[in-house]
């Protein structure tokens, strides 16, 4: 005998990852959709995750990160971890929906879900792959490109102006970004973040 309310499959709503991010950004970025600081929070969380990556990828404060703000809702983040090409086969390891953003980069995937266009590039040992996404959904399979020297991952985000509150823009006060949060107790390491704002030419470094 079933007591209380009875449930069936009809009562269960399955929500895709990107739709869940767009419905409930507060669960990923701690701010609601209509908050004027949401775009700034998206940027700071992506940078914070680069400084504190998944344990499988690297220790905290060891990755070297370079980021550029291209516009009020556009930015690029580059780090020196080519994790989508780290299995030694030369074939990319795909993540969400077949994108070059795996679960270890869930913050970048969540940021992409709030965008109109995302471009992911990964390279190592002279081999590079590039993929364009509409939000987090690939528009095509990864394709080879002529990579820069070294190894790394670059993600270019174009956030969706129709999603954010009118007038929303990434802050110009870059010194106010918190990239560590209350739970970071690791000492400074060899890594860090260099953030350049192409809107005014200013540059800030975080350790």
* Residue 192, in any domain of the structure: yes
pLDDT of the residue at 86: 74
pLDDT at 187: 84
Give the burial class of 113: count Cβ atoms within 10 A of its Cβ; 0-12 exposed, 13-18 middle, 19 or more buried. Answer: buried
Q: Over the range 169-191, which residues count as b (16 or more CB within 10 Å of their CB) and which as e?
A: bbbeebeebebbeeeeeeeeeeb
- The pLDDT assigned to 55 comes to 79
In this predicted structure, what is the pLDDT of residue 28?
98
What residue numbers bound the domain in which 192 lies?
A: 9-175+186-206
What CATH number has the domain bearing residue 59?
A: 3.30.565.10
Q: Rounded mean pLDDT of 56-62?
A: 84
Record the pTM.
Answer: 0.91
**Tally of structural domains, the chain:** 1
Residue 1: inside a domain: no
Is 202 contained in some domain? yes
Indicate whether 195 belongs to any domain.
yes
In a domain, 181, yes or no: no
CA distance 117 to 139: 10
Q: Establish if 33 belongs to a structural domain.
A: yes
For residue 88, what pLDDT band results from cuts at 50, 70 and 90? Answer: low
3: in domain: no
- pLDDT value of residue 13: 76
Query: What pLDDT, on a 0 to 100 scale, did the predictor assign at position 54?
Result: 84
Q: Does residue 166 fall inside a structural domain?
A: yes
Q: Say yes or no to pLDDT of 6 above 70.
A: no
Per-residue pLDDT averaged across 50-63, rounded? Answer: 86
Taking all residues of the chain, what is their mean pLDDT, rounded to a whole number?
Answer: 92
The predicted-structure confidence for 133-152, as pLDDT tens digits, reads as follows 999 999 999 999 999 999 99
User: Cβ atoms within 10 A of the Cβ of 5, count?
Assistant: 6
pLDDT at position 189: 87
Give pLDDT tens digits for 158-192: 999 999 999 999 999 999 898 988 778 888 888 99
């Amino acid at each position: 005998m079933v007591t209380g309310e009875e449930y069936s499959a009809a009562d269960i709503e399955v929500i895709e990852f990107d739709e869940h991010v767009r419905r409930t950004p507060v669960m990923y970025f701690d701010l609601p959709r209509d908050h004027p600081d949401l775009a700034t929070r998206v940027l700071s969380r992506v940078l914070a995750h680069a400084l504190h990556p998944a344990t499988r990828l690297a220790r905290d404060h060891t990755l070297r990160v370079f980021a550029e703000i291209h516009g009020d809702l556009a930015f690029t983040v580059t780090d020196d971890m080519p994790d989508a090409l780290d299995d030694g086969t030369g074939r990319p390891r795909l993540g969400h929906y077949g994108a070059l953003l795996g679960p270890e980069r869930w913050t970048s995937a969540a940021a992409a879900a709030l965008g109109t266009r995302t471009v992911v590039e990964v390279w190592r040992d002279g081999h590079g792959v590039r993929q364009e996404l509409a939000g987090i959904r690939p528009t095509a399979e990864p394709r080879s490109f002529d990579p820069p020297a070294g190894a790394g991952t670059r993600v270019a985000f174009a956030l969706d102006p129709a999603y954010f509150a009118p007038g929303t823009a990434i802050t110009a006060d870059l010194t106010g970004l918190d990239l560590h949060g209350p739970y970071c107790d690791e000492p400074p390491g060899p890594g860090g973040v260099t953030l350049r704002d192409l809107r005014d030419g200013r540059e800030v470094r975080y350790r």
